[in-house]
Amino acid sequence: MSFFSQRVSRIQPSPTISITAKAKKLKQEGKKIIDFSAGEPDFDTPDNIKEAAIKAIQDGQTKYTPVNGTKELIEAIIKKFKRENDLVFESDEITVGCGGKQVIYNALVATIEKGDEIIIPAPFWVSYPDMALLVEGHPIVLDCTIENNFKINPQDLENKITNRTKWVILNSPSNPTGAFYSELELQNLAKILLKHPHVWVMCDDLYEHIIFDDLKFKNILQVDNKLKSRTFVVNGVSKAYAMTGWRLGYGAGPQELIKEISKIQSQSTTHTSSISQAAAIEALNNSDEFINKNKKIFQERRDLIFSKLKDCSSLQVFLPQGSFYVYVCCNELMGKKKDDGTEIKNDIDLSDYFLDEGVAVVPGEAFGCSNFFRISFATSNEDIIEGCDKIISVCKKLK
Ligand code: PLP
């Protein structure tokens, strides 16, 4: 009998984190790698945020804080929701954790019984299914096709709902596709959800501020407030303010859910760092300029990748409306052979081949949608040009 739990044997290490680590290792060994695998902005955290953190250290804000976050941070989060989303929350409806990741995980620990179902639209962020498995839940994958712009067909959603469904996860803009839901699309999903009052909605808004083409962000709660008693809105500072390493995410939802999450956190991590909390207040209150500047940079990079790859006949590129990822269909390359005669059987083989040739991408299988790969454009224009040229030339070599 294994010393280790059944629970942990059901899951895998995060594939995106391990590919980034592999690319880093190759770089350290002196190999030139263009890294298109990163899941974080390449910008540094802005100075005003760093200064707020330094001041917090100097002022002695170095002790335990309340489990759900300091009063000042909770106020800043409430103000953010009002200002940017026109959503009203009370302080007992807010939780703060070590990243959006922990906030989502806590919510699942708080609600999932063995065999409960969590509907996860695919392509999905890699951690949702594994988190569901860790808490002994049952991930129910809802395939979203490229023909439907990687978005949920409302009827397909309804077909997946059973009496064991606890959560539906919505992630717009999406990692890995950059798909973005319009107000009308969200209304159509809300109509289905309103018919099933036992189903809760986990609304992952981590990429809220990275959207293009002058789109205006709305989440499902903004579109239909009748879902408020069963929606958990998750957000964080990682992507919007280039603060991945600070580990701070937050969630807003019904007070009874927050109370249970708080219990779990009080017996596990207690809270995220007091210094990160001080930094997050500054980030939430004073970042408009930073956000607008980055949005423009990311949009230019998206357009650059699109213009480079659109002429590669063996690849089909899906134009993202948000996030910093491009999802690329490589169906036509399956079954082709490398110079040494080995066959490319799937997107994992293709990604390994790209890595051998000096470009790191993440295979689509990791996101529950095969014969695709994900390119992250959280990198410089020079790298984008060089990396895309490399991809095009190595694809051409496959026979
Ligand atoms: N949700 C999505 C869709 C993500 O892509 C990520 C990170 O990659 C997270 C949540 C979690 O981010 P963090 O834990 O850094 O806040």
The secondary structure of 79-129 as a DSSP string is: HHHHHHH-----GGGEEEESHHHHHHHHHHHHHPPTT-EEEEEES--THHH
User: Quick check: 272 pLDDT over 80?
Assistant: yes
252 lies in the same domain as 357: no
Give the residue, 311 or 76, on which the prediction is more confident. 76
Rounded distance from Cα 135 to ligand 1 centre (Å): 18
Rounded distance from Cα 169 to ligand 1 centre (Å): 13
Mutate to test the pocket of ligand 1, among 127, 172, 207, 374 (most ligand atoms within 8 A of CB): 127
Q: Looking at 287, 317, 348, which one is the last position of a domain?
A: 287
Q: Is residue 1 part of a domain?
A: no
Q: 252 and 93 in contact (C-beta within 8 Å)?
A: yes
Q: Is residue 26 part of a domain?
A: yes
365 lies in the same domain as 393: yes
Binning pLDDT at 50, 70 and 90, where does residue 101 land? very high
296 lies in the same domain as 180: no
Going along the chain, which residue ranges are E strands? 34-35, 94-97, 117-122, 138-143, 165-171, 200-204, 231-236, 249-252, 316-318, 325-329, 359-360, 362-363, 372-376
263 lies in the same domain as 229: yes
pLDDT at site 354: 95
Q: Atom 12 of ligand 1 has which residue's CA nearest to it?
A: 100
Rounded distance from Cα 102 to ligand 1 centre (Å): 9
User: Quick check: 388 pLDDT over 90?
Assistant: yes
pLDDT at site 273: 98
**What letter does residue 175 receive in the DSSP assignment?**
T
75 lies in the same domain as 215: yes
Q: Domain tally for the chain?
A: 2
Q: Is 295 exposed, middle or buried (0-12, 13-18, 19+ CB in 10 A)?
A: middle
Rounded mean pLDDT, 327-335: 96
pLDDT at site 117: 98
Q: 385 and 36 in contact (C-beta within 8 Å)?
A: no
Q: Looking at 255, 287, 319, which one is the last position of a domain?
A: 287
CATH number at residue 314: 3.90.1150.10
Q: How many percent of the chain have pLDDT more than 90?
A: 92
- In sequence order, which residues have a C-beta less than 8 Å from that of residue 322 and are 6 or more positions away? 172, 173, 174, 178, 180, 207, 210, 211, 212, 215
The domain containing residue 226 runs over which residues?
49-287
pLDDT at site 30: 92
Q: Is residue 70 part of a domain?
A: yes
User: Quick check: 18 pLDDT over 80?
Assistant: no
pLDDT at site 1: 82
Q: Determine phi and psi for 135, rounding to 5 degrees.
A: -95, 20
Rounded mean pLDDT, 285-307: 96
pLDDT at site 39: 87
Mutate to test the pocket of ligand 1, among 103, 175, 276 (most ligand atoms within 8 A of CB): 175
Separation between Cα atoms, residue 66 and residue 168, nearest integer Å: 30
Q: Report pLDDT digits (tens) over 21-64.
A: 888 889 899 999 999 998 899 999 999 999 999 999 999 999 99
pLDDT at site 24: 85
69 lies in the same domain as 148: yes
Q: Which residue is listed with tokens 């470009």? A: 359
pLDDT at site 379: 95
Rounded distance from Cα 103 to ligand 1 centre (Å): 10
Separation between Cα atoms, residue 218 and residue 58, nearest integer Å: 38
Q: Which of 326, 362, 329 is nearest to 126 (CA)?
A: 362
80 lies in the same domain as 227: yes
pLDDT at site 228: 98
Kindly report the number of other CB atoms within 10 A of residue 383's CB atom. 18
User: Quick check: 17 pLDDT over 80?
Assistant: no
pLDDT at site 13: 78
Ligand 1 pocket (Cβ < 6 Å) reads 39, 99-101, 125, 171, 175, 204, 206, 236, 238, 244, 249
188 lies in the same domain as 313: no
Binning pLDDT at 50, 70 and 90, where does residue 172 land? very high
Written as six digits, the tokens of 126 are 């890699």
pLDDT at site 22: 82
Separation between Cα atoms, residue 73 and residue 40, nearest integer Å: 23
Q: Looking at 287, 313, 339, which one is the last position of a domain?
A: 287
Q: Which residue is listed with tokens 């922990």? A: 102
What is the four-CA torsion angle of 371, 17, 176, 50, rounded to 10 degrees? -160
Kindly report the number of other CB atoms within 10 A of residue 119's CB atom. 26
Rounded distance from Cα 206 to ligand 1 centre (Å): 6
Q: Which of 100, 94, 89 is nearest to 225 (CA)?
A: 89
User: Quick check: 98 pLDDT over 80?
Assistant: yes
Binning pLDDT at 50, 70 and 90, where does residue 331 land? very high
Task: Tell me the CA distances in angstroms from 142 to 30, 101, 282, one per residue in order.
Answer: 42, 21, 38
Mutate to test the pocket of ligand 1, among 17, 18, 125 (most ligand atoms within 8 A of CB): 125
186 lies in the same domain as 257: yes
Q: Is residue 385 part of a domain?
A: yes
Separation between Cα atoms, residue 335 and residue 338, nearest integer Å: 10
Q: Is 304 exposed, middle or buried (0-12, 13-18, 19+ CB in 10 A)?
A: middle
Q: 360 and 20 in contact (C-beta within 8 Å)?
A: yes
283 lies in the same domain as 293: no
Diameter of the chain measured on Cα atoms: 64
Binning pLDDT at 50, 70 and 90, where does residue 398 land? very high
Rounded mean pLDDT, 332-351: 94
pLDDT at site 344: 96
pLDDT at site 16: 73
Task: Tell me the CA distances in angstroms from 191 to 179, 223, 226, one per residue in order.
Answer: 20, 11, 10
What is the residue-averaged pLDDT of the chain? 96
55 lies in the same domain as 153: yes
Q: β-pairing, 249-252 with 359-360? A: unpaired
Q: Report pLDDT digits (tens) over 157-170.
A: 999 999 999 999 99
CATH number at residue 238: 3.40.640.10
95 lies in the same domain as 147: yes
Q: Which residues pair with 138 in a beta bridge?
A: 117
Binning pLDDT at 50, 70 and 90, where does residue 65 land? very high
Q: Report pLDDT digits (tens) over 182-231.
A: 999 999 999 999 999 999 999 999 999 999 999 999 999 999 999 999 99
